[in-house]
Copies of this chain bind each other. A is one copy, B any other.
């Protein structure tokens, strides 16, 4: 399997799917469609590029579990909408108050705070709207689709991603201990990486055993990704020695290397990547793409 080529195919399908679900705002608001300005602000952030990690994971897991790719495309795109709304709201004043995201001005810097709040609300609501309409297109698999949407809702919600954001905000000006840091990364990052895996498994009507394996896989890559992120921040920063001994100075947030030192953080990430590969064992050759995905993520330098 050529990983790069397969990844490019998945990404292209996601990009096409997103544009089909949220087309250009040609129809003015008078026609009863999405108001033009709202549509533009949603598209600005949704179509700003990125690696599309979450929807690609869903398409790959769907392939692995013999799910019709067409059935999986809409929930895959919806998870990307949920991820995007969370970034728009995270960037707002009162949250992280960021001016830039992926080198472009943040949504509220371009459209204003009010419009950015609505763009985020709109993407979250639209994600469910699209998934529900998709589910109704497959009456013979309706229960699997509803379980998939429910799995996504739980991981995105008040015991999942939003819970992680909430605890992150709570510790804005306080030192996190390991329990808090672990909770935030589990929920803010790992839960939305687990969601696409479980959603594909629900549509496939997979058994509990497969669900647990995928949940373990999602947890491992999510936590490893986050520790690696912290390490890359330090290693990419010449003036970084101070960071390894205390809180991330710039963001005022606790990091894994700050808590444990660089060496132990590296060892923790290594163990998690190994666990991730191990949790794919039962899928045999069909997990070739997901294994390559892990190796690729592990080797990243930025």
Using CB atoms and an 8 Å cutoff, list the residues of chain A in contact with chain B: 29-30, 32-35, 37-39, 42, 85-86, 89, 92-95, 108, 112-118, 120-122, 124-126, 128-129, 132-133, 135-136, 139, 142-143, 146-147, 149-150, 153-154, 156-159, 162-163, 165-167, 169-170, 172, 179, 183
Q: In angstroms, how far is the closest chain B Cβ from the Cβ of A6?
A: 32
CA distance A252 to B163 in the complex (A): 37
Q: List 29 A-B contacts (CB under 8 A).
A: A29-B167, A30-B179, A33-B159, A35-B166, A37-B166, A38-B162, A86-B121, A94-B112, A94-B114, A94-B117, A95-B113, A114-B169, A118-B165, A118-B166, A121-B124, A122-B162, A124-B125, A125-B158, A126-B158, A128-B149, A129-B150, A129-B157, A132-B146, A132-B150, A132-B153, A135-B146, A136-B150, A142-B146, A146-B146
Q: Name the CB-closest residue of B to A92.
A: B117
Q: In angstroms, how far is the closest chain B Cβ from the Cβ of A37?
A: 6
Secondary structure dominating the interface of A: helix
CA distance A121 to B154 in the complex (A): 13
Given the interface pairs A153-B125, A162-B122, the reply to whether A170 lies near B35 with Cβ below 8 Å is: yes
The oligomer's copy count stands at 2
Interface centre among A85, A95, A166, A170 (most CB of B within 10 A): A166
Q: Name the CB-closest residue of B to A148.
A: B132
Q: In angstroms, how far is the closest chain B Cβ from the Cβ of A23?
A: 12
Given the interface pairs A136-B150, A153-B129, the reply to whether A167 lies near B113 with Cβ below 8 Å is: no
Q: Which of B93, B128, B153, B158 contacts A34 (CB 8 A)?
A: B158
Given the interface pairs A133-B150, A158-B38, the reply to whether A95 lies near B114 with Cβ below 8 Å is: yes
Could you tell me if A158 and B37 are in contact, using CB atoms closer than 8 angstroms?
A: no
Q: Which of B32, B108, B112, B162 contacts A159 (CB 8 A)?
A: B32
Could you tell me if B158 and A147 are in contact, using CB atoms closer than 8 angstroms?
A: no
Residues on the B chain within 8 Å of A93, using CB: 93-94, 113
Residues on the B chain within 8 Å of A183, using CB: 29-30
Nearest first, the 3 closest Cβ-Cβ pairs linking A and B are A94-B113, A132-B150, A38-B166
Q: In angstroms, how far is the closest chain B Cβ from the Cβ of A119?
A: 9
Could you tell me if B29 and A163 are in contact, using CB atoms closer than 8 angstroms?
A: yes
CA distance A125 to B162 in the complex (A): 9
Given the interface pairs A117-B89, A132-B146, A150-B136, the reply to whether A35 lies near B122 with Cβ below 8 Å is: no
